[in-house]
Amino acid sequence: MKMVLASKNAHKLVEMKDILSQLGVDVVLESEVGVDVDVEETGTTFEENAFLKAHAVMEASGLPAIADDSGLCVDALNGAPGVYSARYGGPELDDVGRYRLLLENLRGQLDRRGKFVSCICCCFPNGDRVEARGECPGTIAYAPKGEGGFGYDPIFFLPGLKKTFAELTAEEKNAVSHRGNALNKFKTELEKYLHGTNQ
């Protein structure tokens, strides 16, 4: 089965392919099916935004479409940046600018708890949808560390592994990450759906 990823993020494509290929699902980018959809993420939750993206790309391509909406929720910032993680601080900031702003906003703050959240939604042309949510708790480091990953990975610290997300191998990250957790739950739900046992 071919599924279109409602994202232009190549990092997400790799993570999705790794896990969903086990079900015989071939995840492709929008560009590979001649679609270029720009979806306004007007939802107030990760679930709403994932649905908006998946539904729009499914409508445009006529194929099942899968979207992930994810972000970092920091306790001391009342859950911010949350659904605005990719737009935190405005459009002029890049990944490094965003995590520097976050560190600045946490200056002097002793409560460094936070979590990454990922919500996945797949919309099918027949109106069905399959959804899953995954979380990964951790803390916000005082300074970036590691060369891997993207986004806030260099400042998201996992006390159990004593590493930031940016210091993990792809295998380690898939085993513990919010998207890895969500994808594994999604894989289970999709398997049930494909075999007609999710009723």
Q: In this model, does residue 156 exceed pLDDT 60? A: yes
Print the domain residue range for 24: 2-194
**Can you tell me the mean pLDDT for 66-91?**
96
Residue 199 lies in a domain: no
Residue 154 lies in a domain: yes
- Residues that constitute the known binding site for substrate: 7-12, 70, 150-153, 173, 178-179
Give the relative orientation of helices 10-20 and 178-194 as an angle to the nearest 10 degrees: 50
What CATH number is attached to the domain comprising 131? 3.90.950.10
Residue 171 lies in a domain: yes
- Residues that constitute the known binding site for Mg(2+): 40, 69
Dist. CA 189–CA 183, nearest whole Å: 10
Strands 65-74 and 113-123: antiparallel
Residue 42 lies in a domain: yes
- Residues that constitute the known binding site: 7-12, 40, 69-70, 150-153, 173, 178-179
Q: Judge whether 65 and 131 are in contact, CB under 8 Å.
A: no
Residue 76 lies in a domain: yes
> Which phi and psi angles does 7 have, rounded to 5°?
-165, 155
* pLDDT at 19 (0 to 100): 81
Given the residues 18, 36, 38, 69, the one annotated as active site: 69
Q: What's the distance, CA 76 to chain centroid?
A: 22
Give the model confidence (pLDDT) of 103-143 as tens digits.
Answer: 999 999 999 999 999 999 999 999 999 999 999 999 999 99
Q: Say whether 18 is catalytic.
A: no
pTM of the model: 0.89
Domain count, the chain: 1
